[in-house]
Structure 1
Amino acid sequence: LTPDRTRTLVRLIKQSTGAIPLEFHAHCNNGLAPFNLLEAVKEGIRIVHTAIPPLANGSSQPSVFNVVNNLGALGYKTLVNVDALKPASEHLTWVARREGLPVGRPHEYDQAWYGHQVPGGMISNLRHQLKLMGKEDMLEEVLAETAQVRAELGYPIMVTPFAQFVGSQAAINVILGERYKEVTDQVIQYALGLWGKEGSDAMDAAVKAKILHRARAREIEKIAYPEPTLEEVRRQYGGADLSDEELLLRFYAGPEFVDALKFAPPRKHYLDARQPLVRLVEELSRKKLAHVFIRKGDFSLTARRGE
Structure 2
Amino acid sequence: MPKPVKITDTTFRDAHQSLMATRMRTDSMLPIAEKMDEVGFFSFEVWGGATFDVSIRYLGEDPWERLHSLKKTLQKTPLQMLLRGQNIVGYRNYPDDVVVRFVEKAAENGIDIFRVFDALNDVRNLETAINTVKRVGAHAQGTVCYTISPVHTIEHYLEIAKRLAELDCDSICIKDMAGMLAPQRAYDLVTAFKKEIGLPVHLHCHSTSGMALMTYLRACDAGVDIIDTAFSPLAWGTSQPPVESVVAALKDTPYDPGLDMRLLVEISEYFRGLREKYYDPIRLIDPMAERVDPSILIHQIPGGMFSNLISQLKEQNAMDKLKEVLEEVPRARKELGYPPLVTPTSQLVGTQAVLNVLSGERYGIVPKEVREYVKGLYGKPPAPIDEEIKRKIIRDEEVITRRPADLLKPELETIPEEAKQFIESEEDALTYVLFPKTALEFFKKRVLKREEKVRVPTEAERQELEAVAALSTAITMYLASAPETVAVIPVRRVGKISAWGIAGRQDLMRVGGSRWGEYLEGI
Q: TM-score, normalised by structure 2?
A: 0.43
Residue aligning to 2:294: 109
d(CA) in 1 for partners of 2:373, 2:279:
39
Deviation string 1:215-235 (CA, Å, 9 cap, x unpaired) is xx79xxxxxx95223753678
Q: How does 1:204-283 map to 2 (within 5 A)?
A: 204-213=386-395, 227-229=408-410, 231-232=412-413, 241-243=425-427, 248-252=430-434, 254-261=435-442, 263=445
Conserved 8 A contact 1:289-1:305: no
Conserved 8 A contact 1:30-1:107: yes
d(CA) in 2 for partners of 1:140, 1:90:
38
User: Which amino acid counterpart does residue 209 of structure 1 have in structure 2?
Assistant: R
d(CA) in 2 for partners of 1:29, 1:174:
26
Q: Which has the higher contact order (CA 8 A, sep 6+)?
A: 2
d(CA) in 2 for partners of 1:23, 1:201:
26
Deviation string 1:237-278 (CA, Å, 9 cap, x unpaired) is 7579222xx5554444x22223445649x9xxxxxxxxxxxx
Choose 178-187 or 113-122, whichever is displaced more. Answer: 113-122
Residue aligning to 1:51: 230
Query: 1:286 is matched with which residue: 463, 473, 476?
Result: 473
Conserved 8 A contact 1:28-1:57: yes
- What secondary structure, in the 3-state scheme, does the structure 1 residue paired with 2:409 have? coil
Conserved 8 A contact 1:192-1:200: no
d(CA) in 2 for partners of 1:200, 1:9:
18
d(CA) in 1 for partners of 2:250, 2:259:
8
Q: CA deviation at 1:82?
A: 2.2
d(CA) in 1 for partners of 2:247, 2:395:
55
Residue aligning to 1:146: 329
Residue aligning to 1:275: none
Residue 199 and residue 48 in structure 1: after superposition, are their counterparts in 2 closer, same or farther (change >3 A)? closer
Q: CA deviation at 1:71?
A: 3.0
Percent of pairs with identical residues: 31
Gaps of 5+ in 2: 1-180, 399-405, 450-468, 489-523
User: Which amino acid counterpart does residue 69 of structure 1 have in structure 2?
Assistant: A
Query: 1:18 is matched with which residue: 198, 211, 219?
Result: 198
Q: CA deviation at 1:98?
A: 1.4
Q: CA deviation at 1:213?
A: 4.5
d(CA) in 1 for partners of 2:208, 2:241:
10
Residue aligning to 1:28: 207
Q: TM-score, normalised by structure 1?
A: 0.68
d(CA) in 2 for partners of 1:205, 1:149:
13
Residue aligning to 1:171: 354
Q: How does 1:63-212 map to 2 (within 5 A)?
A: 63-72=242-251, 76=256, 77-78=258-259, 81-101=264-284, 102-103=286-287, 104-110=289-295, 113-114=296-297, 116-136=299-319, 138-196=321-379, 198-199=380-381, 202-212=384-394
Q: How many residues align?
A: 270
Q: CA deviation at 1:115?
A: 5.2
Conserved 8 A contact 1:30-1:108: yes
Q: What is the aligned-residue RMSD (CA, Å)?
A: 4.2
Conserved 8 A contact 2:412-2:433: no
Deviation string 1:112-134 (CA, Å, 9 cap, x unpaired) is x3454333443334434444554
- What secondary structure, in the 3-state scheme, does the structure 1 residue paired with 2:292 have? coil
Conserved 8 A contact 1:60-1:120: no
